[in-house]
């Protein structure tokens, strides 16, 4: 391979796409603008081709649509192979070394204005032989020769599988949803689709399927189905091609011996995540012949549940990507261990996650680098030459020196439970008696916090606020006991954990007890409202966006707009995890922000999406009406085209500008202390 300069590849991409940083104008105030934190990424994804000679990436710029770019790393030439005036390239994957598959979206509209499916397309790496593979609801934007009737096109509910496949032919595996008359998914079919001819073959399945897992060779090997509160796993024997059930366990509450598949290594070995009788999960290998776990774990993440995935090449397991207090890697392959050490030496102070091409003789590996103060950046590293070449950053204009340091911390709840959290402090070392925002993650039964640069916490820190993000009880990733301690604790012990975190920050001298605000989205929005109810002397204000305002509304919906929660979850998950409508009726009423709205007198900022299917707008409307009768300090905004979160950059700019003004008025520089 011919060497090229460190800046050459980046400059090729910049010239081709006109990438522009969002930088303050000369003479502008030193506070970094809101756009730096909440614009769409300039470089959204990158991946090496199977041979490692080519690099594909999704790249864009303010005012431009996102395009799919391919760079020849030998010739050092870049070409936009898919870019359109009407839509953005959303995702892509390599089919083989010469061909890519991609889909599209319109990132300039929210869910309410976008009635289009993503479509599915394939194109050669030089931009030739474009073919539409799946239809797209709405106006066509791709012109191909011949009549549409002459082309084999799959229906709109055909989607990419988030696994690469064998990458050695023109064929890929794609998901095809089987929908009933109401749009509910009955099963997910798997198709082997030729990206040149459009011909497709349906893979035999063992029954209704929710998800598929390919093996190390890129062939269908495992299926999962959750129904009736049970999850069943089927395995396809490579010698007979027949399916057999290998596991069944309770979907929401777990069962003895339950496990989650992680992936296949070489020789067909299955790796799974399970606790094997311990509090935290580890990575184990599962013997498919005996149906038993191997005795010793492969990887143990002390104090954390194993979270991550395998790094493989065809025929070889190289290592795993995982997360403890921060993301990292464990390499089984000695060459990859040496490569990681060399990369870390060249890129000190960042987490450097390495991905590999399919072929072992590929000259380059791809490195994703980030830290708490540095947004995600992409680099190429050549193990043979030791050369590191930058590709580009997801965000330009971020000055790491002006970003807040983010530290994993732990504090004790009132019952003695240890609560993990992330604490972000403003840059410059001023970490005493600060105004504090308790930022509550949604879910709630997920791991909410992940160390690394984050637009929300960094924006708040840039405005002078300390930000505390607790992984309260019920959060995943910290063991079974921590998770189960949150069952049926909405508005109760889960809420107390947040208040205990705020009081811990005060006791440490970090936070000013008179300037604390609680904020969050979805469940986090619910917790913000309940915080004002339960701890009125602690929180001076609250911010709720797309937040649940009554648990019964999650169950019952509304005649005008039902939510999208799975009926199986409502029947078998919610009664155990959140509360039974009959048995726990009194508790659900006591922990309903709508029922308790008269107790909320603090300033409130409320924001909802008009087409939210998870927490529909009537949640916000009903709570607003209940609280506004006696609280005149309520700010209300509805974003007409948005759903459960903000997809449009302009919405994000508007909302976080409102947050900035709201916080400044009530706990920041403009606050009047009482």
- Return the number of other C-beta atoms located less than 10 Å from residue 164's C-beta: 17
Kindly provide the b/e burial profile for residues 61-80, where b requires at least 16 CB atoms within 10 angstroms of the residue's own CB.
Answer: beebbbbbbbbebeeeebee
DSSP 487: T
* The pLDDT value given to residue 151: 63
> Do residue 314 and residue 407 come from a single domain?
no
Q: Is 73 helix (H, G, I), strand (E, B) or coil?
A: coil
Rounded Cα–Cα distance for residues 612 and 561 (Å): 9
In the sheet that holds 387-393, the strands lie side by side as: 351-355, 365-370, 377-382, 387-393
The residue from 318, 338, 361 where one domain ends is 318
Q: How many domains does the chain have?
A: 2
Residue among 436, 452, 446 at smallest CA distance from 483 = 446
Instruction: Establish if 523 belongs to a structural domain.
Output: yes
> Do residue 541 and residue 639 come from a single domain?
yes
Q: Is 287 helix (H, G, I), strand (E, B) or coil?
A: strand
Instruction: Establish if 130 belongs to a structural domain.
Output: no
> Do residue 297 and residue 423 come from a single domain?
no
Three-point CA angle 133, 138, 141, nearest 5° = 60
Q: Is the dihedral of CA 54, 55, 57, 60 positive or negative?
A: negative
* The pLDDT value given to residue 141: 52
Q: What is the dihedral of CA 418, 448, 528, 567, to 10 degrees?
A: -110
* The pLDDT value given to residue 632: 94
What's the N-to-C CA distance of the chain in angstroms? 69
* 3-state class percentages of the chain: helix first, strand second, coil last, to nearest 5: 20, 35, 50
- Return the number of other C-beta atoms located less than 10 Å from residue 638's C-beta: 15
* Assessment of whether the complete model's pTM goes beyond 0.85: yes
Please, which residues bridge with residue 380 across strands? 366, 389
Pairing of strands 434-440, 466-470: parallel
> Do residue 437 and residue 313 come from a single domain?
no
Pairing of strands 377-382, 365-370: antiparallel
Q: Dig out the tokens for 651 from the structure.
A: 């919405």
Rounded Cα–Cα distance for residues 229 and 391 (Å): 46
Q: Is the dihedral of CA 92, 321, 357, 188 positive or negative?
A: negative
> Do residue 417 and residue 523 come from a single domain?
yes
> Do residue 624 and residue 484 come from a single domain?
yes
Instruction: Establish if 613 belongs to a structural domain.
Output: yes
Instruction: Establish if 123 belongs to a structural domain.
Output: no
Instruction: Establish if 178 belongs to a structural domain.
Output: no
Instruction: Give me the residue label for tokens 């709508």.
Output: 594
Q: Which domain holds residue 242?
A: 204-318
Residue among 75, 141, 131 at smallest CA distance from 104 = 141
Instruction: Establish if 220 belongs to a structural domain.
Output: yes
Instruction: Give me the residue label for tokens 């794609």.
Output: 174
Instruction: Establish if 574 belongs to a structural domain.
Output: yes
Query: What are the Cα distances from residue 571, in Å, to 77, 138, 258, 260, 487?
Result: 56, 36, 21, 22, 16
Are 356 and 368 in contact by the 8 Å Cβ rule? The answer is no
> Do residue 529 and residue 652 come from a single domain?
yes
> Do residue 494 and residue 593 come from a single domain?
yes
Can you give the CATH number for the domain in which 650 is found? Answer: 3.40.50.1820
The residue from 280, 300, 318 where one domain ends is 318
Q: Tell me the pLDDT tens digit for each residue of 82-125.
A: 999 889 999 999 999 999 999 998 888 877 655 557 899 999 99
> Do residue 296 and residue 409 come from a single domain?
no
Instruction: Give me the residue label for tokens 């947040």.
Output: 498
Three-point CA angle 193, 194, 200, nearest 5° = 45
Are 10 and 380 in contact by the 8 Å Cβ rule? The answer is no
The residue from 280, 297, 318 where one domain ends is 318
**H/E run at residue 158:** strand 158-160
> Do residue 498 and residue 595 come from a single domain?
yes
Instruction: Establish if 209 belongs to a structural domain.
Output: yes
Rounded Cα–Cα distance for residues 656 and 460 (Å): 9
Query: What are the Cα distances from residue 342, in Å, to 47, 135, 139?
Result: 21, 46, 50
Report residues of the chain scoring pLDDT below 70: 1-29, 112-116, 137-151, 429-430, 559-562, 670, 672-674
> Do residue 412 and residue 310 come from a single domain?
no
> Do residue 437 and residue 550 come from a single domain?
yes
């Amino acid at each position: 391979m011919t060497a090229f300069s460190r800046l050459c590849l980046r400059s090729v991409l910049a010239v081709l796409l006109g990438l522009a940083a969002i930088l303050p104008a000369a003479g502008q105030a030193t506070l970094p603008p809101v756009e730096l934190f909440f614009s769409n990424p300039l470089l959204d994804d990158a991946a090496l081709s199977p041979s490692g000679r080519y690099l594909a990436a999704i790249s864009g710029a303010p005012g431009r649509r996102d395009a799919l770019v391919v760079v020849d790393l030998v010739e050092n030439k870049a070409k936009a192979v898919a870019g359109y005036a009407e839509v953005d390239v959303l995702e892509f994957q390599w089919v083989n070394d010469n061909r890519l598959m991609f889909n599209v979206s319109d990132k300039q509209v929210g869910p309410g204005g976008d009635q289009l499916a993503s479509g599915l397309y394939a194109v050669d790496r030089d931009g030739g032989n474009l073919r539409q593979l799946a239809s797209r609801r709405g106006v066509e934007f791709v012109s191909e020769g011949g009549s549409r009737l002459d082309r084999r096109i799959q229906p709109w509910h055909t989607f990419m599988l988030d696994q690469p496949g064998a990458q050695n032919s023109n064929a890929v595996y794609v998901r095809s949803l089987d929908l009933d008359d109401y749009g509910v998914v009955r099963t997910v079919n798997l198709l082997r689709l030729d990206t040149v001819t459009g011909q497709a073959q349906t893979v035999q399945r063992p029954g209704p399927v929710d998800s598929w897992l390919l093996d190390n060779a890129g062939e269908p090997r495992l299926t999962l189905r959750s129904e009736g509160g049970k999850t069943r796993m089927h395995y396809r024997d490579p010698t007979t091609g027949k399916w057999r059930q290998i596991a069944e366990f309770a979907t929401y509450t777990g069962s003895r011996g339950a496990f989650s598949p992680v992936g296949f290594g070489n020789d067909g070995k299955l790796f799974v995540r399970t606790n094997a009788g311990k509090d935290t999960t580890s990575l184990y290998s599962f013997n498919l012949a005996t149906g038993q776990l191997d005795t010793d774990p492969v990887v143990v993440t002390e104090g954390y549940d194993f979270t991550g995935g395998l790094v493989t090449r065809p025929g070889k397991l190289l290592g795993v990507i995982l997360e403890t207090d921060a993301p990292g890697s464990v390499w089984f392959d000695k060459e990859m261990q040496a490569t990681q050490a060399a990369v870390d030496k060249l890129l000190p102070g960042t987490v450097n996650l390495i991905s590999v091409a399919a072929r072992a003789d590929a000259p380059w590996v791809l490195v994703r680098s980030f830290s708490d103060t540095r947004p995600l950046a992409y680099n190429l590293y050549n193990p043979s030459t030791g050369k590191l070449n930058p590709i580009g950053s997801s965000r330009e204009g971020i000055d790491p020196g002006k970003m807040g340091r983010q530290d994993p911390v732990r504090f004790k709840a009132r019952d003695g439970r240890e609560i993990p959290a992330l604490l972000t402090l403003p840059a410059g070392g001023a970490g005493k008696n600060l105004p504090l925002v308790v930022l509550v993650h949604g879910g709630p039964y997920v791991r909410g916090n992940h160390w690394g640069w984050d637009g929300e916490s960094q924006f708040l820190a840039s405005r002078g606020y300390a930000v505390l993000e607790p992984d309260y009880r019920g959060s995943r990733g910290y063991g079974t006991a921590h998770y189960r301690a949150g069952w049926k604790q909405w508005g109760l012990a889960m809420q107390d954990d947040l208040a205990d975190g705020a009081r811990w920050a005060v006791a440490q001298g970090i936070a000013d007890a008179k300037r604390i605000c609680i904020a969050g989205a979805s469940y986090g929005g619910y917790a913000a409202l309940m915080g004002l109810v339960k701890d009125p002397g602690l929180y001076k204000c609250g911010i709720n966006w797309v937040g649940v305002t009554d648990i019964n509304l999650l169950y019952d919906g509304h005649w005008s707009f039902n939510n999208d929660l799975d009926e199986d979850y409502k029947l078998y998950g919610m009664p155990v995890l959140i509360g039974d409508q009959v048995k726990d009726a009194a508790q659900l009423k006591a922990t309903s922000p709508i029922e308790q709205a008269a107790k909320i007198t603090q300033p409130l900022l409320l924001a909802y999406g008009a087409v939210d299917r998870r927490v529909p707008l009537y949640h916000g409307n009903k709570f607003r009406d209940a609280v506004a009768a006696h609280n005149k300090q309520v700010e209300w905004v509805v974003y007409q085209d948005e759903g459960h979160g903000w997809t449009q950059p302009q919405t994000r700019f508007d909302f976080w500008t409102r947050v900035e003004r709201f916080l400044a008025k009530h706990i920041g520089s403009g606050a009047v202390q009482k």
